[in-house]
């Protein structure tokens, strides 16, 4: 039973993009467009090459930003501000999800490869602000992104997460490998299931999954 698998959990860690809002709203499409433009401007390439670099760096380093920092010495602060300057009105409020998160026992945090101010804007648009004990962005991991284990260790160390009593909810299966190694319960939140030893559970409906935890 799902509920019994989470009876020990007292630290709930949620990714943000395509996890705390449905991918169908296509919010990240806006960010990808701005990332491509930023790559064009900062590296001096055309749109096609910028798109290719954006994807290449995401695969190689975990985020486009990490690739730009390592290969082009890009300053992360202006980048994060620019790519997250988007329209949040496309996000619907979700009072049901808000109630489910509120009822989870223990400490609840958001940990994203985006920035904390961006995460706060998303949570506000979703009606989820004020529900989490802390919000961590890539800046809190010294700009080292998930899936690097050191990034998780930095953020969890700052927050005091007891990983043996924690669960991680993520849309990117790569970002569940380190939490699994650290003893966390892992939940892949995505339309398509991925079978891997480091993924304990899959759901394409976060609300329904959290409901099952409360039964």
Report the alpha-carbon distance of residue 55 to residue 68 in Å, rounded: 12
Same domain, residue pair 102 and 202: yes
Domain coverage including residue 72: 27-83
The answer to whether residue 98 sits within a structural domain is yes
| Segment 119-164, tens digit of pLDDT | 999 999 999 999 999 999 999 999 999 999 999 999 999 999 999 9
Torsional sign, CA 84, 87, 90, 95 = positive
Same domain, 188 and 104: yes
pLDDT digits (tens, 9 = 90+) for 173-203: 999 999 999 999 999 999 999 999 999 999 9
What separation in angstroms does the CA of 168 have from each of 118, 151, 215? 20, 14, 20
Q: Rounded to an integer, what distance in angstroms lies between the CA atom of residue 110 and that of residue 89?
A: 20
Burial class of 30 by CB neighbour count within 10 A (0 to 12, 13 to 18, 19+)? middle
149 neighbors 53 (Cβ within 8 angstroms):
no
Only one residue has tokens 């920035």, namely 115
The CATH number that applies at residue 14 is 3.40.50.1000
Same-domain check for residues 14 and 31: no
Q: What is the CATH number of the domain that holds 34?
A: 1.10.150.450
pLDDT in tens, 63-105: 999 999 999 999 999 999 999 999 999 999 999 999 999 999 9
Total domain count, the chain:
2
Name the DSSP class of 127.
T
Question: What backbone torsions phi and psi does residue 102 show, to the nearest 5 degrees?
Answer: -60, -35
> Are both 78 and 105 inside the same structural domain?
no
Q: How many CB atoms lie within 10 A of CB 68?
A: 23
Tell me which of 45, 62, 83 is where a domain ends: 83
Residue with tokens 């090459």: 49
How far is 126 from 90, CA to CA, in rounded Å? Answer: 10
| C-alpha span between 51 and 37 (Å, rounded) | 9
Identify whether residues 161 and 209 lie together within a single domain.
yes
Using the 8-state DSSP alphabet, how is residue 105 labeled?
Answer: S
In this predicted structure, what is the pLDDT of residue 168? 98
Residues 66 and 144 both lie in one domain? no
pLDDT at 215 over 90: no
155 and 203 in a common domain: yes
Residue 1 has pLDDT above 90, yes or no: no
192 and 129 housed in the same domain: yes
pLDDT digit string, tens, across residues 91-101: 999 999 999 99
């Amino acid at each position: 039973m799902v509920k019994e698998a989470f009876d020990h959990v007292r630290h709930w860690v949620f990714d943000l993009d395509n996890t705390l809002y449905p991918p169908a709203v296509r919010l990240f499409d806006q960010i990808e467009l701005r990332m491509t433009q930023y790559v064009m401007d900062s590296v001096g390439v055309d749109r096609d090459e910028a798109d290719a670099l954006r994807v290449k760096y995401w695969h190689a380093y975990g985020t486009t930003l990490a690739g730009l920092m390592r290969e082009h010495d890009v300053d992360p602060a202006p980048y994060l501000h620019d790519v997250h300057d988007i329209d949040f009105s496309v996000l619907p409020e979700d009072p049901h999800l808000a109630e489910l998160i509120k009822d989870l026992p223990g400490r609840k945090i958001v940990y994203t490869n985006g920035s904390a101010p961006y995460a706060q804007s998303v949570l506000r648009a979703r009606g989820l602000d004020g529900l989490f004990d802390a919000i961590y962005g890539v800046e809190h991991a010294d700009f080292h992104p998930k899936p690097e284990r050191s990034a998780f260790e930095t953020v969890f160390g700052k927050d005091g997460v007891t990983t043996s009593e924690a669960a991680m909810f993520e849309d990117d299966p790569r970002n569940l490998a380190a939490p699994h190694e650290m003893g966390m319960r892992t939940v892949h939140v995505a339309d398509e299931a991925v079978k891997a030893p480091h993924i304990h559970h899959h759901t394409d409906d976060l609300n329904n999954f959290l409901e099952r935890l409360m039964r």
